[in-house]
Structure 1
Amino acid sequence: MLDSVKIQRRQSEIRQSLSELAGKADPSADELRSMESLDTEYRSNETRYRAALIAEDTERREAGAELETRSDRQFAELVAGFELRQVALHLDEGRNLDGRTAEVVQELRSAGGYRGVPIPLMALEQRAGETVAAGVPDPIQTRPIIDRLFPGSVAAQMGAQMIQIGSGAVEWPVTTSAVTAGWAATETGNVAGPTEYTTTDKALKPEHNLGIHMRITRKALKQSGDALEQAIRRDMSGTMAAELDKAIFLGTGTGGQPLGVIPGAATYGITSTPAGVAASWAALRAAVVRFMTANAASGPSAVRALVRPELWGFLDGVEAFAGSGVTEWSRITSQLGSVVQTTNALAAPASDATSVLLTTNAGGVAPIFVGLWGAVDLIRDPFSDAQSGGLRLTALTTADVTVARGSQLQLVTGLGLTAGGE
Structure 2
Amino acid sequence: MLDSLKITRRQSEIRQQLAGLVGKDAPSEDETRSMESLDAEYRTNETRFRAALISEDEERKEAGAELETRSEKEWNEIMAGFEMRQVALSLDEGRALSGQTAEIVTELRSQGGYRGIPVPYAALETRAGETIASGTPDPIATRPLIERLFPASVAAQMGVQMINIGTGAQETPVTTSAITAGWQATETGNVPGPSAYTTLDRPLKPDNTLGIQMRITRKTLLQSGSALEQAIRRDMNGAMAQEMDRAIFNGSGTNGEPTGVFTGAAAWGIEETDLSAAATWAAIRSQVVAFMTANAATGPSAVRLLIRPEVWDTMDGAYITGTAVTEWDRLKAAVGSISMSHNALPDPALPAGGVGGDPLESKALLTTSAGGVAPVFVGLWGAVDLIRDPYSDAQSGGLRLTALSTMDTTISRAVQTRVLTGIQ
| Secondary structure of 1:154 counterpart | coil
**Which of 382, 386, 391 matches 1:374?**
382
Q: How does 1:350-361 map to 2 (within 5 A)?
A: 350-351=349-350, 352-361=360-369
Cα separation, 1, equivalents of 2:68 and 2:301: 37
Q: Note if contact 2:151-2:242 (Cα within 8 Å) is conserved in structure 1.
A: no
Asked if 1:47 is matched to 2:47, the reply is yes
User: In the TM superposition, what is the alpha-carbon distance from 1:130 to its structure 2 partner?
Assistant: 4.0
Which one-letter code corresponds to 1:200 in the other structure? L
**TM superposition shift of 1:82:** 0.9
Letter in 2 for 1:8: S
Aligned counterparts of 2:31 and 2:270: Cα–Cα separation in 1: 90
Q: Give 1:407's aligned residue.
A: 415
Deviation at 1:73, TM superposition (A): 4.8
Q: Is the 8 A contact 1:7 1:49 kept in 2?
A: no
Change over 3 Å in CA distance of 1:22–1:47 after alignment to 2: farther
- Change over 3 Å in CA distance of 1:123–1:369 after alignment to 2: same
User: Match of 2:277, SS?
Assistant: coil
Task: Name 2:238's counterpart in structure 1.
Answer: 238
Matched, 1:385 2:393: yes
CA distance in structure 1 between the partners assigned to 2:169 and 2:255 by the alignment: 21
Aligned to 1:78: 78
Are 1:306 and 2:314 matched, yes or no? no
Distance 1:316 1:225 in 2: 47
Contact 2:18 2:35 in 1 (8 A): no
* RMSD of equivalent CA atoms: 3.0
CA change 1:228–1:35 in 2 (3 A) is: closer
C-alpha deviation, 1:77, in angstroms: 2.3
Q: Aligned with 2:187: secondary structure?
A: coil
Q: CA offsets per residue over residues 246-273 of structure 1, 9 Å max, x none?
A: 0000001000000000011011110001
Counterpart secondary structure, 1:284: helix
| Structure-to-structure mapping, 1:88-237, within 5 angstroms | 88-130=88-130, 153-237=153-237
TM-score for the superposition, normalised by structure 2? 0.85
SS in 1 for 2:329: helix
Structure 1, unaligned stretches of length 5 or more?
133-149, 417-422
The equivalent residue for 1:335 is 334
CA distance in 1, matches of 2:299, 2:316: 24
Structure 2: segments with no counterpart, 5+ residues: 133-149, 351-359
After TM superposition, give the deviation of residue 11 of structure 1 in Å: 4.4
Q: Which residue of the partner structure matches residue 13 of structure 2?
A: 9
Deviation (angstroms), 1:78: 2.3
**CA-CA distance at 1:34 after TM superposition:** 7.4
Shift of 1:321: 3.5
- Which SS does the other structure have where 2:379 is aligned? strand
Cα distance in 2, alignment partners of residues 292 and 12 from structure 1: 69
* Closer/same/farther in 2, CA of residues 328 and 46 from structure 1, 3 Å limit: same
> How many residue pairs align between the two structures?
394
Among residues 395, 400, 406, which one is paired with 2:403 in the alignment? 395
Can you list the C-alpha shifts for 1:289-324, whole angstroms capped at 9, x where unaligned? 1100100000000000000000011111111242x2
What is the one-letter code of the residue matched to 2:370?
Answer: A
TM-aligned CA distance change 1:205 to 1:58, over 3 Å: farther
Q: What is the DSSP-based 3-state SS (H/G/I as helix, E as strand, rest coil) of the residue aligned with 1:279? A: coil
CA contact (8 A) 1:277 1:283 kept: no
Letter in 1 for 2:254: T
Can you list the C-alpha shifts for 1:83-127, whole angstroms capped at 9, x where unaligned?
Answer: 111111111111111121111111111111100111010111113
Q: What secondary structure does 2:276 align onto?
A: coil
Q: How far 1:401 moved relative to its partner?
A: 0.1
Aligned mates of 2:153, 2:246 — CA distance in 1: 10
How far apart, CA to CA, are the structure 1 residues paired with 2:12 and 2:83?
Answer: 53
Which TM-score applies when normalising by structure 1? 0.85
Aligned equivalents of 1:31, 1:112: Cα separation in 2: 65
1:190 to 1:179, Cα distance in 2 relative to 1, 3 A = same
1:185-212 Cα deviation digits (max 9, x unpaired):
1111111111111011111110100000
Q: Give the drift of 1:222.
A: 0.8
Range with greater deviation from structure 2 (151-160 or 54-63): 54-63
Contact 1:308 1:346 in 2 (8 A): yes
User: Taking structure 1 as reference, are residues 19 and 380 closer, same or farther at Cα in structure 2, changes over 3 Å only?
Assistant: closer
Q: 1:123 to 1:35 in 2, by over 3 A?
A: closer
2:250 is aligned to 250
